[in-house]
Structure formats: C-alpha cells, structure tokens
Amino acid sequence: MEWVTPEQAEHYESVLGFARTLPRDTLERDREEMFSREAWNRCAEFGIQGMPIPAEFGGGGADVVTTMLGLEALGYGCDDAGLVFSINAHMWTSEVPIWTFGTAQQRERWLAGLCDGRFIGCHTITEPGAGSDAFGMKSTAKPVPGGFVLNGSKTFITNAPVADLLIVFARSGEGIGPYGISAFLVEAATKGLTVGGQLDKMGLRTSPMAEVFLEDCFVPSEALLGGEGQGGEIFQTSMRWERACIMASQVGTMRRTMEACVTYARERRQFGKPIAKFESVSDKIANMKVAVDAARALVLRVGWLMDHGRDTMVEAAVAKTFVSEAAVRTHLDAVQVFGGYGYMTEYGIERGLRDAVGGTIYSGTSEIQRRIIARGLGL
Ligand SMILES: Cc1cc2nc3c(=O)[nH]c(=O)nc-3n(C[C@H](O)[C@H](O)[C@H](O)COP(=O)(O)OP(=O)(O)OC[C@H]3O[C@@H](n4cnc5c(N)ncnc54)[C@H](O)[C@@H]3O)c2cc1C
C-alpha cells in the first residue's frame, strides 16, 4: 500500500482480516431492515468504534489517517454498508463531540461505553422543516431551575431506534443561524423523549433510523455539552470528521465493487469471449479504478491535514462531494457490467447502488458541499 507507514499498512490488513470474519447475512437483513447488534458488538470488541479516541478514555488512540485506513478496510471487507454507516455516525457525531467538548464527568460517563459497544449514540439535528438549513431549527431548550426543558421534533435520525444516548440540538437562547443553539446529552429513557417507529428507506437498510419527539423533556444542567450556545460549533466539528471519515469506508466499498466487476467481466462470456474484452465494459471498470484511487487520495489528504492540526472545512467538502458521487457512478456502472444479474437483489450489486445514493444526502447534500467549496474560493 502506497504512502502509509508499515504500522498503518499492518493496521489496514488486521482490520480487513477481521472484517472478513463478520457474518454474510446482509442480503436477508437488508430485506427485513434488521440491524445486527451482534456484529456491532464484535466490531467494538475488535476496537473499531474506539479507534481514534485516546486510550485514557477507552479508545485505541489512533491518528486520523490510521483511523481512516481502518475504516476503509472495514468498508472493503464487510458488505453490510448499513452497519458501517451506523458505526461511522456513532463515532463522528457521538464520540467525537463528547471527547472534544465534554466535561470530565461526561467523558467518564459515556466514552468508554461508546467505544466498547455497550452504548450506541446518535445525533439529532435535522427537523421536518430544517434539513440543509439545520440552524433554522425550531426545537427549543428553555432554561429552568436546575436544567432545561426540551421541546420539538427531529427526523432522519440514524441509530435512534437502538440508541442509548442522543445528542440533541435545540435553541436555548436568542440569535440567528448557529447562535443560540445548544447541544444536550440525553439518555434514551428520559421522560418526555420518544423515538418513533423505524423509517423505511431506499438504502443503508440495516442502519436503523427514526424520528425523535421531545415533549416537555427535562434534562439537568449537567446534560449541556460544551457551553450554552456552542451547539453550532459542536455540529460543525462533527461534520468535519464525518464528511471525511465516512467516505474512507466508501472507498473500501467502491474497491470491493470494482474487484467484483473485474472477476465477473473475466468470467462472463458473450459472443464467444469474456465481456472484459469489450472496451465499453472494461472502460467502465477502468473508470472505477480512477475513482477509487482519486477518492482515497482525497480522503487521506483530509486525514493528513487533520493530523497536522489544519483546518479542513473545504477539503472535507471536496472529498465528500467527489467520493459520494463517484460511489453512485461506480455502483450504477457495476449494475450495467453485471447486466440482468446486477439488477437482481441476489447478487448484492443493486444494494451497493441503493446504499451509495444516501452519501450524496447525509452529512450535508452535494449541493451544500458545493456551497462550502464555492465560499472557500471566495465566490
Ligand atoms: C441516510 C441518511 C442518514 C441521516 N442521518 C441523520 C442523522 O443521524 N441525524 C440527523 O440529524 N440527520 C440525518 N440525516 C438528515 C440529513 O442530514 C438531511 O437529509 C440533509 O441535511 C438534507 O436535508 P433535507 O433532507 O431536509 O433536504 P432539503 O434541505 O430540503 O434539501 C432538498 C434539496 O434542496 C437542495 N438545497 C437545499 N438548500 C440548498 C442551497 N442553499 N443551495 C442549493 N441547494 C439546496 C438540497 O441539496 C436538496 O437537493 C440523514 C439523512 C440520510 C439520507
């Protein structure tokens, strides 16, 4: 493997070896929209969920590039993209904000359990009327003696049906945009918090998702994450990590799909020869190779910048836009290479396409990423 240290290459191989031991039952669970807690626990036991969290809080203390390589290997070796997505969402939007903004007590209470698989976290910002314009949220956190009372409703919340901890964003004070928004650590069993039924979706079906309702939900002052009004900064920190790191797993998935296409195109014969001999087929696979290599370079660039303490707002948006769109293209082409077999659920190729589409929407749509990139160019 180019660019990386021998230790990082070894880490990649070790995660890949582990990922290949995970059960191959995704086809059935995708139909049933079933999350695998067992696979979740096995990943945690191996050290996936805790990879970048410092050892003193129960994690593996890996740098960002090493973490990204581990997540790429997980995406390459494990065909349950929903599980990989749930793990990523948990890491970047639950662990990272608590590690970065939490008090000693909050870190002590949550981090070790989030790393070792006991707890599942989720991040609740999107509302029915506030998606891309997340800071246009209507949910409120009214300060009262001893804490806050939360009211509002949230939607599209990954992991909510199985979560122990919800990071809830709500407006606690005056201000426009990110100003006046605070983040709260809310236990799933808190009175006044209800998780709706599991939402039925196009892809990533093994990653559970639901709406969340807050009705006069009292949380003590100790539930406030960071300072009052710091919610916008907490959200942006999570998004910077998530946009880059989730795409590392997508690089692994794209590579797995490309290799499946290489094998299939060599074996499948039409007109007396392997379909790989038709240039319009092999060109599609060559394009996949270009996409995988470019995607990996863009993702690792963000990791390198993060490891060197540099700002990555624009670079993460560039990586997110390119990789998520390249993943859709790669999987659409893979369906074409496999022909009718690609269109049938049994081969898992069409599932890759359904799973990939979500990448252009979650963590900020492609259109929003292009707004960030354009702003970075002074436009
Ligand atoms: C698989 C998946 C997992 C998710 N997980 C979570 C989660 O765990 N927690 C959470 O809080 N949310 C989650 N979301 C929600 C996600 O963040 C939102 O769906 C996303 O931000 C877009 O919001 P929206 O769906 O309301 O679309 P809208 O904001 O209504 O956008 C609709 C269309 O308009 C475009 N648009 C909007 N504004 C602009 C603009 N300024 N310029 C150009 N185009 C624009 C969008 O790009 C899009 O094409 C998840 C979504 C998905 C698909």
pLDDT for residue 176: 76
Average pLDDT, the chain: 97
CA of 331 to the centre of ligand 1 (A): 22
Long-range contacts (CB closer than 8 Å, 24 or more residues apart) made by 229-232? 229/172, 229/173, 229/175, 229/179, 229/180, 229/181, 229/182, 230/101, 230/182, 230/183, 231/169, 231/170, 231/172, 231/178, 231/181, 231/182, 231/183, 232/135, 232/177, 232/178, 232/179, 232/181
pLDDT for residue 281: 98
Ligand 1, atom 47: closest residue by C-alpha: 367
Phi, psi of 373 (to 5 degrees): -65, -45
pLDDT band for position 226 (cuts 50, 70, 90)? very high
Give percent of the chain with pLDDT exceeding 70. 100
Ligand 1, atom 26: closest residue by C-alpha: 131
Q: Are the C-beta atoms of residues 271 and 265 closer than 8 Å to each other? A: no
The answer to whether residue 173 scores a pLDDT higher than 90 is no
Q: Report the alpha-carbon angle 173-174-180, nearest 5.
A: 55
303 burial (CB, 10 Å; 0-12 / 13-18 / 19+) is buried
Across 304-309, average pLDDT: 96
Report which of 326, 333, 120 is spatially closest to residue 207, judged by C-alpha positions.
Answer: 120
CA distance 23 to 265: 26
The answer to whether residue 248 scores a pLDDT higher than 90 is yes
Give percent of the chain with pLDDT exceeding 90. 96
pLDDT for residue 303: 96
Phi, psi of 272 (to 5 degrees): 80, 10
Domains and CATH numbers, the chain: 6-120 (1.10.540.10), 122-229 (2.40.110.10), 233-376 (1.20.140.10)
Q: Which atom of ligand 1 is nearest to the CA of 89?
A: 8
The answer to whether residue 1 scores a pLDDT higher than 80 is no
The answer to whether residue 120 scores a pLDDT higher than 90 is yes
To test the pocket of ligand 1, the residue of 239, 249, 365, 369 to mutate (highest count of ligand atoms within 8 Å of its CB) is 365
Ligand 1, atom 40: closest residue by C-alpha: 368
Across 353-376, average pLDDT: 98
pLDDT band for position 98 (cuts 50, 70, 90)? very high
ipTM: 0.99
The answer to whether residue 175 scores a pLDDT higher than 90 is no
Q: 225 has which bridge partners?
A: 183
CA of 306 to the centre of ligand 1 (A): 25
Phi, psi of 118 (to 5 degrees): -65, -40
Report residue 302 as tokens.
């963000």
The catalytic residues are 242
Q: Are the C-beta atoms of residues 295 and 323 closer than 8 Å to each other? A: yes
